Amino acid sequence: MANKTGATIELLNVSKVYPNQPEPAVENFTMTINPGELVMLVGPSGCGKTTTMKMINRIIEPSSGSIKIDGQDILTLDQNQLRRNIGYVIQQIGLFPHMTIAENVAVVPTLLGWSKDKIRARVAEMLELVELDPSVFSNRYPKQLSGGQQQRVGVARALSADPPVMLMDEPFGATDPITRERLQAEFQQLQANIGKTIVFVTHDFEEAIKLGDRIAVLSKRSKIEQFDTPANILANPASEYVASFIGEGAALKRLALMRVDSAVESGNATGPAISRDENLRVALDSVVLNAGRPVPVVGGGRVSIESISAALGIDVSRLGQ
């Protein structure tokens, strides 16, 4: 695991049968995750997402199959050494209540034997990274923080030793919708900078689309129904199962993933101009508010219903025929 900015994770025919259970919780799971990639495991409750993820840091031991990180079989590594190189964030957060925020963030660096000065600097850096002012929060205790702040600390703690791999099990699942959106946006920004290899478990498809580089849609026993980019899954769901998981409004969800850039056409328009960096869902909103007439784009050109539909691959001229 020398590559600190991300490692390859390979799972090959991994299965897990819990003691006294008739059926495996995970059966023949095979997946390769590229360095720096954020893979979302999404599926209904009980389908085996958590079990699959927790086998990667051996919180759960696989019954069969092999798991490799950067080519090394994790079963041959010392369990605790392995875990110190894998950031771990769980829904219930699990901060240590008797330790200050700074001490919580310092746990893995301390286990790794870093010097006091290096740890202190690192803790401050991590807290800033998750937008908590170190001078305010370092000496507080977890119970003095809101749920959203605690989860930020959870992320900072997982990142503190700069592990190449992160495992995240519904990290934002317990927060209210507004906090969740903020945490997701911050996390997206964070991942853009740190480029870890991340396995992220969620049952929220919207969250999967928003954050994932690739999404694995899972059904019972962690069977992979489709493993592809959010845009491709939305455009071409592989089965009824996947389509039902996407739910209503697939086109709007796809638009949210696309930039205005991809739908600019030449021509003039009147109305409030929209930035090229915005997503097409916002652009469509503007067009609708503009009574369906095209809206100008900052820097030249315009977007219209037709250009947006074309960007989605829909031929508007044939609609209604």
Partner 1 sequence: MGKYDLSLIWPFFLDKLDEIIELSTEHVLVVLISVLLATIFGVSLGLFAWDKPLLRSASIATAGVILTIPSMALLALMIPTFGLGWVPTLIALALYSLLPIVRNTVVGLREVPEAVMESARGMGMSPLRVLLSVQMPIAWPVILTGLRVATQLAIGIASIAAYVAGPGLGVYIFKGLSMLGAKNALNFALTGTVMIIIIALLFDALFILIKRLTTSRGIRG
Ligand X SMILES: Nc1ncnc2c1ncn2[C@@H]1O[C@H](COP(=O)(O)OP(=O)(O)O)[C@@H](O)[C@H]1O
Chain residues binding partner 1 by CB under 8 A are 57, 59, 79-84, 86, 88, 90, 92-100, 107-108, 111, 141-143, 154, 157, 167
Q: Does residue 18 belong to the site contacting ligand X (CB under 6 A)?
A: yes
Strands (E), the chain: 9-16, 26-33, 38-42, 64-69, 72-73, 86-90, 165-169, 197-202, 214-219, 223-228, 295-296, 302-303
Cβ 159 to partner 1, closest distance in Å? 12
Tell me the C-alpha distance between 118 and 162, whole Å. Answer: 13
Single residue of 14, 25, 211, 274 touching ligand X by CB under 6 A: 25
Tell me the C-alpha distance between 282 and 53, whole Å. Answer: 34
* Cβ proximity to partner 1, 92 vs 275, nearer residue: 92
Site residues for ligand X, 152-181, by CB under 6 A, read: none
Sign of dihedral through CA atoms 144, 145, 151, 154? negative
- Segment interacting with ligand X, rule: CB under 6 A, options 44-52, 80-88, 149-157, 304-312: 44-52
> Are 151 and 172 in contact, with CB atoms under 8 Å apart?
yes
Single residue of 8, 15, 50, 151 touching ligand X by CB under 6 A: 50
Cβ 112 to partner 1, closest distance in Å? 9
Single residue of 14, 15, 49, 209 touching ligand X by CB under 6 A: 49
- Segment interacting with ligand X, rule: CB under 6 A, options 41-49, 118-126, 241-249, 312-320: 41-49
Cβ 46 to Mg ion, closest distance in Å? 8
Q: How far is CA 267 from the centre of its chain?
A: 38
Cβ 173 to ligand X, closest distance in Å? 11
Beta-ladder partners of 10: 32, 68
Specify burial of residue 304 (Cβ count, 10 A radius: 0-12, 13-18, 19+).
buried
Say what angle helices 147-159 and 177-194 make with each other, to 10 degrees. Answer: 20
Q: Which does 8 bind (CB under 5 to 8 A by kind): partner 1, ligand X, Mg ion, none?
A: none
Which residues here bind ligand X, judged by CB under 6 A?
18, 21, 25, 43, 45-51
